Copies of this chain bind each other. A is one copy, B any other.
Amino acid sequence: MKALVYHGPGQKAWEDTPKPEIANDTDAIVRVDATTICGTDLHILKGDVPAVTDGRILGHEAVGTVDAVGAGVKTVKVGDRVLVSCITACGACRFCREGRYGQCLGGGGWILGHKIDGTQAEYVRVPFADTSTYPVPAGATDEQILMLADILPTGYEVGVLNGTVQPGDVVAVVGAGPIGLSAIMGARLFSPSHIVAIDLADSRLEAAKQFGADVVVNNSREDPEAIIAELTGGLGADVAIEAVGVPATFELATRLARPGGHIANIGVHGEPVTLHLEELWIRDVTITTGLVDTYTTPTLLRLVTSQQIDAGRFVTHHFTLDQFDEAYDVFGRAADTGALKVVLTRT
């Protein structure tokens, strides 16, 4: 089969590789019908994720059709259309029993396209298939469901639910890239009074409006603290969601939250930040961090099929699997191309 193989920093190729086979009896082999590219894949290609080594097939998001299952797989059958989640769950360890699949101690967690071969390929081996795949509901398209592999649960779980967004809240979202937009879409489900999107790029703020932001702030020229203070009688946001991953945006998020407020970090950080405890110790704040667990996948599937969430809105570009070079290029130049999520499908 063909797959997108990583060959060290800056090097990748759509090349022939052996088709994966059942290695453990709880595995499934899934034919990839649709896959996508994540910001994390760009980090890997820069060499920022040393666990990914030469020869690894990239990708951790897919919708596909089950091609084979191991003897121990109970609920997934050949021919089933399934969502392959970015998080693999053994289903039996302490953390999996608590729904904290991202921290799986039994061989799961984020492993696809990271520690084992991934989904940017014609076929992928999915360990612990019973607890790591989800049936695609009737009436939903591959493209919609593909957004549940990573981006939608990440914004919803790590941003919205960790941040405890409630009806009537003022929610600040710092960063309006795909993850910030996912948090905006997820926050909308709880009917906040105002979602305030903050970014340096007007194009991303325009997208934020489409995804449900009520107020947009370009912090290259506007003061988000002042704007939120005005909306909240001087108190600050009920919830501030960090969706970038650099010190300046995290510190901004901590300044935006009101006394008693929540700061939910989604961003992937590469360096320490300064936490102003000399101001925050007295302000009753709650700061959360998290890797997505995808424990909300069943809920999100219901929200998509009942049209409470318009998952397809993320998809800006379409390619076939053999166009990975072009797709990475378009996604990697999102500022120019306006790419949010690109979808690659089998021909």
A residues lining the B interface (CB < 8 Å):
25-26, 71-72, 74-75, 90-92, 94-95, 97-100, 102-103, 106, 130-131, 166-168, 188-194, 214, 245, 250, 259-260, 265, 267-278, 280-291, 295, 298-300, 302-303, 305-306, 308
Contact = CB atoms under 8 A, between A and B. Distances in A.
Nearest to A300: B168
Contacts of A72: 25-26, 71-72
Contacts of A250: 277
A303 B272 contact: no
17 contacts: A25-B71, A26-B72, A97-B99, A102-B284, A167-B299, A168-B299, A168-B306, A168-B308, A193-B308, A194-B306, A214-B306, A265-B277, A269-B281, A270-B278, A272-B274, A277-B289, A285-B289
Contacts of A269: 277-278, 281
Nearest to A101: B97
Contacts of A268: 281-282
A167 B191 contact: no
B274 A280 contact: no
Contacts of A289: 277, 280-285
Contacts of A282: 102, 268, 289-291
Contact of A275 (B130, B192, B273, B290): B273
B298 A103 contact: no
Given A92-B74, A168-B299, A194-B306, A275 B275 contact: yes
A91 B131 contact: yes
A303 B168 contact: yes
Given A26-B74, A100-B259, 11 more contacts: A75-B106, A100-B260, A103-B259, A191-B303, A192-B308, A194-B306, A269-B277, A270-B278, A271-B278, A272-B278, A283-B289
Contacts of A190: 167, 189-191
Contacts of A94: 298
A167 B189 contact: yes
Contacts of A305: 193
B285 A288 contact: yes
Contacts of A98: 99, 260
Contacts of A193: 302-303, 305-306, 308
Contacts of A267: 281
